[in-house]
Structure 1
Amino acid sequence: MTTNTNSNIHLRPRFKMELNENQDDLISKFKANLSDGDCKYCSKIVDGHIVIDVPKNENHFWSPQLNIEIEQTDIDKTIVKGLFGPKPQVWTLFMFFHFAVAVAFIGFAVMAYVQWSLKTDFSLALTIVIALPIVWVLMYFLGRLGKSTGNKQMDELYQFMMKTLQK
């Protein structure tokens, strides 16, 4: 088994592994391990795509998901690609806020320019244009804080996956 990671799992949570096993064998390993009575993880398996969630009793807003894609390259060779990320609801909410801040920044920048060129008071629009990048930076650090909150669970998901693949 060879593993190729972009960098440390906490900085850029993607990885890619080449295995000398059949795709169906790997998927059956995950099905067997996830349906085991001792397994605490929630999962969805569709074809070569596996989504593993943390247990419901340990789940919080910043809990990560592990998305695994298993691709067959040869008869007995597969590539396992993994991606750690937030739940889709959290990701969508965060992207919505980033988009709203970007649109508001552009809108208030245009408003400040128009008021300046018309020689009217543009202090409110300029204040908001200055404040919005600060809001964006705060959202960035909030996301980093949330990501660090889920690091322990990310490690647990990774260990579970590695244990399953090595059976």
Structure 2
Amino acid sequence: MKDYLNSDIHLRPRFKMNFSESQDVLISKFKKNLKSENCNYCSKIVDGHIVIDVPVDENHFWSPQLNIEIEKMNGDETIVKGLFGPKPQLWTLFMFFHFAMAAAFIGFSIMTYVQWTLKEDNSMALIIVIGLPILWIVMYFLGRIGRRKGHKQMDELYGFMMKTLEV
């Protein structure tokens, strides 16, 4: 089994592993482990896609989710791709704020330029144009803080996945 990890800068860490077992065998391992009595993880399995959430009683705003994609390769070889990230609702909200700030930055940049060329007072628009990248950087670090708060749960999900795949 080979394990490929991306650099640490990503807000949504990814990994990829190669296995010499078939896709069906690996999926059946997950089904068996997730339905056992001592498993508290919430999960959804659709074809080769598995979503594992932390237990409901341990869930908080920054709790991660593990998305696993099991793909067939040649013969009995498979690739297991994983992605840790926040719940889709939180990620969508987070991305909405990023796009809204980008649109506001473009709009206020145009407003600053127009006011500057018309020789009008552009101080308010200029302050907003300078403040938006600072706000974007703050949001990036908030995402990093959130990932750090969910890191223990990410380790637990990863450990559960590795235990399941090595059975």
Separation in structure 2 between the aligned mates of residue 37 and residue 165 of structure 1, nearest angstrom: 18
Give 1:1-167 correspondences, 5 Å limit.
1-7=1-7, 13-167=13-167
Give, in angstroms, the shift of residue 165 of structure 1: 0.4
Give, in angstroms, the shift of residue 10 of structure 1: 8.0
Separation in structure 2 between the aligned mates of residue 9 and residue 80 of structure 1, nearest angstrom: 22
Structure 1, unpaired ranges of 5+:
none
Separation in structure 1 between the aligned mates of residue 9 and residue 159 of structure 2, nearest angstrom: 12
CA RMSD after TM alignment: 1.6
Helix, strand or coil for the counterpart of 1:74? coil
Percent identity among equivalent residues?
72
The number of residues matched between the two structures is 167
- TM-score normalized by the length of structure 2: 0.94
Separation in structure 2 between the aligned mates of residue 145 and residue 2 of structure 1, nearest angstrom: 29
Distance 1:97 1:125, change over 3 A: same
- TM-score normalized by the length of structure 1: 0.94
Distance 1:11 1:141, change over 3 A: closer
Separation in structure 2 between the aligned mates of residue 135 and residue 143 of structure 1, nearest angstrom: 12
Contact preservation (8 Å) 1:22, 1:76: yes
Which amino acid in structure 2 is aligned with residue 82 of structure 1?
G
